[in-house]
A = this chain, B = another copy of it.
Amino acid sequence: MADSRFFSRKGPFSVAQIAELTGADVVNAPDRDRVFDDVSPLQNADSTILSFFDNRKYIDAFINSKAGACFVRPEFADRAPKDMVLFTTNDPYRAYAKAATAFYPFETGNGSISEFAVVDPSAKLGKGVQVDAGAVIGANCEIGDGTIIEANAVIGKGVVIGAGCRIGANASISHSLIGNLCLIYPGARIGQDGFGFAMGPQGHVKVPQLGRVVIGNDVEVGSNSTIDRGAGPDTVIGNGCRIDNLVQIGHNVEMGMGCVIVSQVGISGSTKLGNFVVLAGQAGITGHLEIGDGAKVAAQSGVMKNIGPGETVGGSPAVPVMEYHKQTVALSRLIRKKK
């Protein structure tokens, strides 16, 4: 059960309600009005709990679970404990996400502006906007309905933030236009000028960075990640992108829809990603590249060439992933011979 110091729960929800919320099929539920009080992982669940089984690695936990109900793929339904109510679906984790959000809805702004916040009189705040203590909002900012600006966040002059967003504690945003329903985590840095200068032995001369950061709707930017504004063009993050913690995104980078950028990835300036690109943890992408739709980059890879749509690469320098695996095998054979 989630710690009530930190979480407040809605519900309970009935079998029928859960089915409707998630679109899952109900199996083994004699009573459609039976309610569940909470969600939790399989291991800790009891008969009042709704859980999910998605990663086969945890099949034993599923078989032995005391959970009252579970989201599960249809093909595993016959492995379930006898009395478990089953919600079958091809994407149990997605169904669980929706149900869990019903029990623990995301907060939206409560309309309070802390007396310890500093909001420029020219800023336009929508309905329900919440500004916590120590937050600073600059001249001519526009903040959409229901957005929360957490404590000690700093929003620079002219920044536009859509509705239903949450800007985390101690984050700072400047020179940016941000869509609706975005989550900017604590300590994220968005819109500062990029690493642009003319190098030379007589000193490096800074180049004014005259673009912005433009972020779509439903985007997450993780804790302490950094997104530099464009040098002339904008830095662009498409709708639905998920950016994890400690990620670096250079100036002029463009990212399509639904990209997933895992922790500690670095994307150098002017590189363009298509839609639904996945970059695994600690990967690095050189500047001025094009990464096609649906491309995948393995963890710690170093990408130095364009990647076509749908391709998967690995290694540093990165090569097609099958080649990368063969290299790994060849290398391990090589030393076996030398023994």
Contact = CB atoms under 8 A, between A and B. Distances in A.
A57 B287 CA distance: 12
A284 B300 contact: yes
Which of A203, A240, A262, A266 lies at the interface centre, i.e. has the most chain B CB atoms within 10 A of its CB? A266
Contacts of A233: 41, 43-44
A44 B232 contact: yes
B335 A327 contact: yes
A266 B316 CA distance: 18
A224 B189 contact: yes
Interface in A292-339: 299-300, 302, 316-317, 319, 323, 326-332, 334-335, 338
B175 A6 contact: yes
A226 B222 contact: yes
A124 interface: no
Contacts of A110: none
A284 B281 contact: yes
Q: Which 10 A-B pairs have CB atoms at the shortest separation, nearest pair first?
A: A5-B158, A94-B198, A189-B223, A169-B172, A2-B210, A154-B169, A326-B335, A118-B133, A104-B208, A136-B151
B224 A187 contact: yes
Instruction: Give the contact-size bracket for chain A.
Output: 35 or more
Which of A170, A200, A327 lies at the interface centre, i.e. has the most chain B CB atoms within 10 A of its CB? A170
Quickly give the copy total for this chain.
Answer: 3
Given A116-B118, A134-B152, 17 more contacts: A6-B158, A6-B212, A39-B208, A94-B200, A97-B206, A97-B207, A97-B208, A114-B118, A152-B154, A156-B169, A195-B222, A224-B224, A245-B248, A266-B282, A326-B338, A327-B331, A331-B334
A246 interface: yes
A334 B330 contact: yes
Contacts of A97: 197-198, 205-208
A87 interface: no
A186 to B, nearest CB: 4
Interface of A: 2-3, 5-7, 39-41, 43-44, 55, 57, 91, 93-94, 96-98, 100-101, 103-104, 106, 114, 116, 118, 132-134, 136, 140, 150-152, 154, 156-158, 168-172, 174-175, 183, 185-187, 189, 192, 195, 197-201, 203-208, 210-212, 218, 220, 222-224, 226, 228, 231-233, 240, 242, 244-246, 248, 250, 258, 260, 262-264, 266, 268, 276, 281-282, 284, 286, 288, 299-300, 302, 316-317, 319, 323, 326-332, 334-335, 338
A233 B43 CA distance: 10
A140 to B, nearest CB: 6
Nearest to A139: B5
B185 A189 contact: yes
B91 A198 contact: yes
A148 to B, nearest CB: 12
Interface secondary structure of A, over-half rule: loop
22 contacts: A3-B158, A3-B175, A5-B157, A6-B174, A39-B232, A41-B231, A91-B200, A97-B198, A100-B210, A132-B136, A134-B152, A154-B170, A170-B171, A170-B172, A195-B242, A206-B220, A226-B263, A246-B266, A284-B299, A316-B316, A323-B332, A327-B334
